[in-house]
Amino acid sequence: MRNKRQGEERRMTWIMQAVREAVEKAYHRMKWNSVEDPNIVAENRLLRIIAEQGEKRLRTYAELLRERYHMRLDVSDVVDAFRRMRISNPEKRAELFDWARELTRAFERALVSGAAEDVAAYMAVKDRRILQWNNDPSRQHGAQRRIGIMFLLAHHPELYQRDDGKKIDVLGNVFAKYVLFDLSDALRDACTPTRVSRFDQKSQPQGETARLQRENTMLKSSLEQAEMLMKDLQEEFDERLAASREQEMVDFFSRLNSERYGCILDEILTLRRGIKELRKAHCDVPVEVSGLFIFVEKLAQFVMDAHIHPILPQGKVRDVHFADIEACDYEGRPFESEADVRRVKVLSPGWIYEDKKLQIARPKVKEVVTDGE
């Protein structure tokens, strides 16, 4: 038992050193290639909270982020964080989180036992593709390995120094992936008695030829890693560029539906409904006004052709639980429990960019209070 415990401690020390080196290396590479992105910081902190707390309501995540990190975030910011990581779909998101928990458990088993079969099982979990990336079945989801390392480090904060926490927070998909790779290599090295670690290589007595061969191998490996990193960074840059173009379109339509401009998208729906009622009633419309009707129809067609669609039916009255309207702006009595039911009316339908499931405007609902309530 004592030898087993000592072996686990030795492996932990080995991996801790590797993780700290990997975080430092990734952080400096990130600083060299880009600037710190506050969105990535928010995403990583959100992932850490999910790893620690499990599945919660979106509002709970926002509250925990405010309490722990003093970040002024609400439900819409949590939704945006999931969207940026391309895990907006709750079912797909749950698949990735379940995989990350399985990865953490596999790491713990391999760390404790040091057995080759447990290390192999961990590697198999690490390399498993949960979701496709850009419809390419050969590629893992871009955020998968970042989610994995964030969950793993959230459960094992002893693997890194306290000051490294802020450095880990700024790592996006690419740099977080390489931290996971280095951690996995260290786990394999620590659990392979006959393998010479890169931490012990300096102390190994070797001849000049063997030393040069080893250095040559290490240089080739470093070059291959650098080429892979540059390719990954280029892909990430292209993806961010495409995402920024999408965001520009979302911002444009969001401004159209802002109160400053009179909620134009909402008004288009109201006008179309009014025009249909007038035509159904066979009302005589002056020629001067009929041109306005055509303009409204064309404007509505433009919005629909851009794949901008309402989320909820405007004006509809229905009974809801809190979970049904968590992503809405709600006006009314507070919900006292999950079972509470409120009758609400949809004042504003909210809008979404259907192709990418990007929310443009949140729906607005108001409680319908009847006499006696």
Q: Which residues contact 77 (CB under 8 A, 6 or more apart)?
A: 42, 62
Residue type, 221: S
Lowest-pLDDT range, 21-30, 64-73, 212-221? 212-221
User: For residue 135, what pLDDT band results from cuts at 50, 70 and 90?
Assistant: low
Q: What number of other Cβ atoms are within 10 A of residue 123's Cβ?
A: 15
Write b or e for each residue in 186-208: b if 16 or more Cβ atoms lie within 10 A of its Cβ, otherwise e: bbbbbbeeeeeeeeeeeeeeeee
User: For residue 47, what pLDDT band results from cuts at 50, 70 and 90?
Assistant: very high
- Between 334 and 5, the more confident residue is 334
Q: 108 and 22: one domain?
A: yes
Q: 358 and 335: one domain?
A: yes
User: For residue 199, what pLDDT band results from cuts at 50, 70 and 90?
Assistant: very low
Q: 119 and 139: one domain?
A: yes
Full domain range(s) for residue 231 = 213-249
* Distance of alpha carbon 84 from alpha carbon 148, whole angstroms: 17
Per the structure, how many domains does the chain have? 3
Residue 205 lies in a domain: no
Beta bridge partners of 343: 319
Residue 68 lies in a domain: yes
- Whose CA is closest to 20, among 162, 188, 189? 162
pLDDT at 214: 66
Q: 159 and 48: one domain?
A: yes
Q: What number of other Cβ atoms are within 10 A of residue 135's Cβ?
A: 6
Lowest-pLDDT range, 6-10, 42-46, 167-171, 260-264? 6-10
Q: Which two tokens stand for residue 153?
A: 């480090």
Lowest-pLDDT range, 200-204, 268-272, 282-286? 200-204
**Contact between residue 90 and residue 57 where contact means Cβ atoms under 8 Å apart:** no
pLDDT at 74: 86
Residue 99, pLDDT above cutoff 70: yes
User: For residue 134, what pLDDT band results from cuts at 50, 70 and 90?
Assistant: low
Q: 149 and 281: one domain?
A: no
Residue 97 C-alpha from the chain's centroid: 11
Among the candidates 131, 164, 199, a domain finishes at 199
pLDDT in tens, 245-268: 777 888 888 888 888 888 899 999
Residue 287 lies in a domain: yes
Residue 206, pLDDT above cutoff 60: no
Q: 34 and 104: one domain?
A: yes
pLDDT at 336: 80
Q: 52 and 127: one domain?
A: yes
Q: 37 and 68: one domain?
A: yes
User: For residue 196, what pLDDT band results from cuts at 50, 70 and 90?
Assistant: very low
Q: 320 and 360: one domain?
A: yes
Q: 243 and 135: one domain?
A: no
Whole-structure pTM value = 0.68
pLDDT at 102: 96
Mean of pLDDT over the chain: 82
pLDDT in tens, 140-157: 788 899 999 999 999 988
Residue 285, pLDDT above cutoff 80: no
* Distance of alpha carbon 309 from alpha carbon 351, whole angstroms: 6
> What is the separation, in whole angstroms, between the first and last Cα of the chain?
67
Residue 204 lies in a domain: no
pLDDT in tens, 292-334: 888 888 998 999 898 899 999 988 998 888 877 777 888 988 8
Residue 340 lies in a domain: yes
Q: 232 and 267: one domain?
A: no
Residue 311 lies in a domain: yes
pLDDT in tens, 214-240: 667 767 766 676 677 677 767 766 766
Residue 59 lies in a domain: yes
pLDDT at 1: 55
Q: 245 and 263: one domain?
A: no
Residue 145 lies in a domain: yes
